[in-house]
Structure 1
Amino acid sequence: MTDENSRALYDRALSVMPGGVNSAVRAAIEPYPFFVQKGDGGHVIDADGNRYIDWVMGLGPLLLGHSLPEQVQAAIQKQASAGPMYGTPTEIEVDLAEFVVRHVPSVEKIRFVNSGTEATVSAVRLARGYTGRNKIVVMQGGYHGAQESTLVEGDAENPAPSSAGIPQSFAEHTLPVPFNDEAAVREVFDEHGDDIAAVLTEPILANYGIVHPEDGYHEFLREITAEHGSLLIFDEVITGFRVGGLGCAQSELGVIPDLTTFGKIIGGGFPVGAIGGRAEIIESFAPSGPVFQAGTFSGHPVTMAAGLETLQFAAENDVYNHVNDLGEQLRSGLTDIVADQAPSYTVTGTDSMFKVIFTRDGPGPDSLEEQCKTGCRQNPTCPRYDYCPKNSADVKNAETERWRRIFWGKMKAQDVFLSQNQFECQFVSYNHTEADVENTLEAYKNAL
């Protein structure tokens, strides 16, 4: 396997782009990332002609894989050939909005934007404008895009910016609490309840190793926000239209938030974001309300066509059965491999998402027969329950450097492309096959 072309491209990139990349996570691969030339089905081919099974799938947007079904490809090309964009409304954005409203329980109206970050920025502004309050409760380690309100670390007593360039005065309006910790949430509401605009959380921590909520946790968030007149916002940028099918993770969990943010799959692989929710709240966006929100490329017709055709194809075909079955095969196979070779590690994920977290502690291998078979579900009867990650700190305490510096490279050497660090999800697409699963499981055996 050669990487001369990728090395040369990275050398050029370092001269004109900070760190040689346009998104920081891409530089996590050492000594440099490989440059992709094209996608093919469930695979990518790099600039040196090396072919990899791709479980990154653009970090989640590619539900259908790299080779789109003919009708999806045709719809995208037809829309693009009609002209790139117009600065006026189009029918296709209405069509996609109607589709989402029909299928997602919490969404009565929706506003399309251009990225997941823009969606969460707008949702936070909307929550503050609608409630007249300032503070936002977030989960420690949860990622909601590159925005000032959520790039905050520490705890509710000592919040601090997690990035240079964010004033401390901004961070003081954000209250980080551990995921799955009801007592911590009660404490911040006891202290700040009259000024909490919203609780913002992923239904499943999907950007921090994949951590499920404990039974009743989101029901508790729903109750305490309603009690205090605050909003509950689900960030479904990652889980939307991947977990729980067309109803998204909220339908699987049975908890209906006030607002939901979307990205990734809703745009069919093109730049997109969206904020949906109760009509009376969404109507607070300009021009119908006082919360300003606008964007030149919002509702871009090519993106809208890609998103609508992707979701319609998923609705009319066996997409979710296929990707979820392969996801279950992966997690089940990984559970067996880990129990045999690395019993302290934790297999996580659901539906078409999967990950192995290099947790450091666990029960003896003889007691693992009754563990969760296809990914950790925070089941109190599981012998791993006391050891599986409950929040971001537990994931961060795993062997993250071993995962990135040793394991990732071993998998790449076997032509398997995994996400660039311990924290990012891995995803199954409609283009993946059982052969891809079998080859990947064999690679895990060798790498572990």
Structure 2
Amino acid sequence: MRDERSRELYDRALSVMPGGVNSSVRATMPYPLFVERGDGGHVIDADGNRLIDYVMGYGPLLYGHDLPDSVQSAIQSHASAGPMYGAPTEVEIDLAEFVARHVPSVESVRFVNSGTEATVSAVRLARGYTGRDKIVVMQGGYHGAQETTLVDGEAGDAHPSTPGVPQEFARHTLPIPFNDEEAAQEVFEEYGDDIAAVLTEPILGNTGIVMPEDGYHETLRDLCDDYGSLLIFDEVITGFRVGGLQCAQGEFGVTPDVTTFGKIVGGGFPVGAIGGTAEIIESFTPAGEVFQSGTFSGHPVTMAAGYESLTYAAENDVYEHVNRLGEKLREGITEICEDQAPEYTVVGTDSMFKTVFTREAPESFENSCSGGCRQRPTCPRYETCPKNGGDVASAQTDRWERVFWQEMREQGVFLTANQFECQFTSYAHTDEDVEKTLEAYKEAL
């Protein structure tokens, strides 16, 4: 596969951008794949190589790179009317009404410009609403580049995970293992009166895709109710991808107080949102006293793209298609692992998938979860499947980045570049794409 042009572009980028990229996860070895354009479920890189794309912009591209005509028309119409106004537009009401109509937790919505901005604002909202400072987070969870959640360690002994975050910020963050009900109960017993919120992804999506065990989210819901804390679901990844229009909270049957969104809710354009009960969300200025504002918030092009994208999904077989392909991929990869790498764990749900290079597991797949790990206690692989971020981190993470990702690219398949970020099917993908991908997995594994 040719890569001379990508190498040349990376050389140029290194002289004007730190690490040659504008998001650290794009810094693949030995250099990133520079994309020239998208085409349906594929990307064409700067060297003219055509690859099946499962990165999908790290999640926003529910339709792949070919938007439905109604979405494209709305984008063009609003873009041609003027870049932006610094004033409200009707289409942001349309999108807010759609979200409130379909997502169980949402009565009111504040739109912002990124998933990070959404979670930053949600944390500030929780602290302002409750008058408390401490936030419980999941070890290995990801909530964007914000000071409150860029921490490592355990509750009571947390420290910043990056230079630039004061230790004082980490003091108010209480990390616990995902899927550990006992740890959740203990942290509330010790700090409950000071906990403003529990902030968690319904599914860990930046840590190899870890599903919740039955009852875990219900436990968090009960603890928050008992102690007067807020339960915040970060659905930046899962929102309008898992569970269809009701999102992951609808699928799991647990309603948080606040939900953060990004990615799909903006139809592929920069976006974030914070939704919840009207009482809580109206704590934001100007209705309340918790400051939140932004020049580009509710950008008309983004709002139009998001509204028309979700409307199209509501009226067509979008979720049926993407979920069927996701299931077909997970089942096919499971069969390949059974033959070639039985120690590995296939994870994911709906249109999300990943293979975690776990180091131990029974050789037999009999009676196991065939379409991705579901944390089923009766599964013979239950004891060795990843339960939290630490379990994924202890997998063969280097092998993914240094060997597997490179080999899959040579086979014409574009995957996320490390063990942690998940991959996605889109409405533009086909059964033929899935078959080619499974053949590539056979070769690469």
TM-score (norm 1): 0.99
**Alignment match, 2:60:** 61
The answer (yes or no) to whether the contact 2:135–2:173 under 8 Å persists in 1 is yes
Please say if 1:21 is aligned against 2:21. yes
Secondary structure (helix, strand or coil) at the match of 1:159 reads strand
Provide the rounded CA distance (Å) in 2 between the counterparts of 1:232 and 1:364: 39
1:402 maps to amino acid? R
Provide the rounded CA distance (Å) in 1 between the counterparts of 2:422 and 2:361: 22
**Alignment match, 2:299:** 300
Q: Return 5+ residue gaps in structure 1 as ranges.
A: none
Secondary structure (helix, strand or coil) at the match of 1:324 reads helix
Please say if 1:415 is aligned against 2:415. no
Q: 5 Å matches for 1:109-258?
A: 109-258=108-257
**Alignment match, 1:401:** 398
- 1:348 is displaced (CA, Å) by 0.3
- 1:184 is displaced (CA, Å) by 0.9
Please say if 1:10 is aligned against 2:15. no
1:119 maps to amino acid? A
**Alignment match, 1:96:** 95
Please say if 1:436 is aligned against 2:429. no
Provide the rounded CA distance (Å) in 1 between the counterparts of 2:426 and 2:49: 20
- 1:311 is displaced (CA, Å) by 0.3
**Alignment match, 1:375:** 372
1:224 maps to amino acid? L
Provide the rounded CA distance (Å) in 1 between the counterparts of 2:363 and 2:442: 19
- 1:364 is displaced (CA, Å) by 2.5
- 1:420 is displaced (CA, Å) by 1.1
- 1:418 is displaced (CA, Å) by 0.4
**Alignment match, 2:273:** 274
CA deviations over 1:26-72 (Å, ceiling 9, x no partner): 00x11100100000000000011000000000000000110111111
Secondary structure (helix, strand or coil) at the match of 2:188 reads helix
Secondary structure (helix, strand or coil) at the match of 1:39 reads strand
Provide the rounded CA distance (Å) in 2 between the counterparts of 1:418 and 1:364: 26
CA deviations over 1:179-202 (Å, ceiling 9, x no partner): 001111111111110000000000
Provide the rounded CA distance (Å) in 1 between the counterparts of 2:237 and 2:70: 25
1:222 maps to amino acid? R
Provide the rounded CA distance (Å) in 2 between the counterparts of 1:439 and 1:134: 50
Secondary structure (helix, strand or coil) at the match of 2:157 reads coil
Provide the rounded CA distance (Å) in 1 between the counterparts of 2:401 and 2:105: 37
The answer (yes or no) to whether the contact 2:338–2:363 under 8 Å persists in 1 is no
Provide the rounded CA distance (Å) in 1 between the counterparts of 2:107 and 2:431: 38
Provide the rounded CA distance (Å) in 1 between the counterparts of 2:305 and 2:159: 39
The answer (yes or no) to whether the contact 2:266–2:306 under 8 Å persists in 1 is yes
CA deviations over 1:162-210 (Å, ceiling 9, x no partner): 0110000110000000000111111111111000000000000011000
Secondary structure (helix, strand or coil) at the match of 1:44 reads strand
2:431 maps to amino acid? E
CA deviations over 1:206-230 (Å, ceiling 9, x no partner): 1100000000000000000100000
CA deviations over 1:60-98 (Å, ceiling 9, x no partner): 000011011111111100010000100000000000000
Provide the rounded CA distance (Å) in 1 between the counterparts of 2:390 and 2:68: 41
**Alignment match, 1:388:** 385
Secondary structure (helix, strand or coil) at the match of 2:154 reads coil
Secondary structure (helix, strand or coil) at the match of 1:335 reads helix
- Give the CA RMSD over aligned residues: 0.5
Provide the rounded CA distance (Å) in 1 between the counterparts of 2:95 and 2:363: 50
2:352 maps to amino acid? M
- 1:267 is displaced (CA, Å) by 0.2
- 1:136 is displaced (CA, Å) by 0.0
Runs of 4+ in 1 over 4 A off after TM superposition: none
Please say if 1:259 is aligned against 2:252. no
2:401 maps to amino acid? R
CA deviations over 1:351-398 (Å, ceiling 9, x no partner): 000000000001123xx1100010000000001000000000000000
CA deviations over 1:265-318 (Å, ceiling 9, x no partner): 000000000000011000100001010000000000000000001000101111
Provide the rounded CA distance (Å) in 2 between the counterparts of 1:338 and 1:357: 11
The answer (yes or no) to whether the contact 2:156–2:171 under 8 Å persists in 1 is no
1:12 maps to amino acid? R
Provide the rounded CA distance (Å) in 2 between the counterparts of 1:404 and 1:35: 17
Provide the rounded CA distance (Å) in 2 between the counterparts of 1:72 and 1:62: 12
Secondary structure (helix, strand or coil) at the match of 2:175 reads strand
Secondary structure (helix, strand or coil) at the match of 1:154 reads strand
- 1:157 is displaced (CA, Å) by 2.3
- 1:4 is displaced (CA, Å) by 1.1
TM-score (norm 2): 1.00
Aligned residues: 445
Please say if 1:447 is aligned against 2:408. no
